[in-house]
Amino acid sequence: MDASGNAYVIGYTWSTDFPTANAYQSIKAGDWDAFVAKLSPTGGGNISPTVTLSANTTSGNAPLAVNFSAAASDSDGNITQYEWDLDGNGAYEATNTNSTRTYTYNSAGTYSASVRVTDNGGATATSAVTITVNSSSSGGGSGSGGDSGGGSGGGGCGFVKDSNGKGQKAKGEGLTLMIMLIIALAGIAIAKRAKRLIKT
């Protein structure tokens, strides 16, 4: 359109079945004149799907197996694809047409598991759920011989397990044994001296 309000058509396309009735003029007003019609189309495009992700459990000790379920729907079409990011790294590792999936978390941490669905028109929707995994509880076995008052001979020699699971003397046990040995030797010496005094 120029400054005088004249519109110029620089291209055209013929259509004999245009969806809006009487939107074009079939009779020419003159050579290369054009008829411009204002169109008011109705109706919308593709409507995006909806999805809600749920899990049978959202917390527990490692290893934690979680069953996920994605409830998805599309009002003007159908769901064609499910993409899963269950380890929470931001990348969708699995793609399929199933609305359920199982994943096992072997390490402690907090994970944002998510699913993305796509409909037959290419529109997408996402949903996420937070999974909290705790460290696996380790069972504490008692040290060999007990930690106090045990051991053969009533010596109270305790043992503890090191990081490799091997038994070792607890700290201070060496000094305790030395003192006990000195007391025992002193007792023997006193007993021998007492015998000599009795004989004399």
For residues 60 and 27, membership in a common domain is answered with: no
Residue 79 CA to its chain's centroid (Å): 24
Among residues 115, 134, 153, which one ends one of the domains?
134
C-alpha dihedral over 97, 102, 104, 108, to 10 degrees? 90
Single pTM value for the model = 0.50
- 113: in domain: yes
For residues 17 and 79, membership in a common domain is answered with: no
pLDDT at 154: 40
- 55: in domain: yes
Among residues 134, 159, 181, which one ends one of the domains?
134
CATH number for the domain spanning 128: value is: 2.60.40.10
For residues 81 and 25, membership in a common domain is answered with: no
Q: How far is CA 171 from CA 1, 124, 175, 176, in A?
A: 96, 64, 9, 10
Question: Which secondary-structure segment (H or E) carries 199?
Answer: helix 173-199
The whole domain housing 105 covers 50-134
User: What distance in Å separates the CA atoms of residue 88 and residue 55, rounded to the nearest whole number?
Assistant: 14
Q: DSSP assignment of 137-195, as one string? A: PPP-PPPTT-SSS-SGGG----EEE-TTS-EEEPTTHHHHHHHHHHHHHHHHHHHHHHH
For residues 90 and 118, membership in a common domain is answered with: yes
Per the DSSP assignment, residues forming a β-bridge with 116 are: 83, 126
- 70: in domain: yes
Query: Tens place of pLDDT for every residue, the chain, 200 residues?
Result: 677 767 666 666 666 666 666 565 666 656 655 566 655 566 668 999 999 999 999 999 999 999 999 999 999 999 999 999 999 999 999 899 999 999 999 999 999 999 999 999 999 999 999 999 999 865 433 332 333 233 334 443 444 444 444 455 445 555 666 767 677 777 676 666 656 655 55
Among residues 134, 154, 188, which one ends one of the domains?
134
Residue 18 CA to its chain's centroid (Å): 52
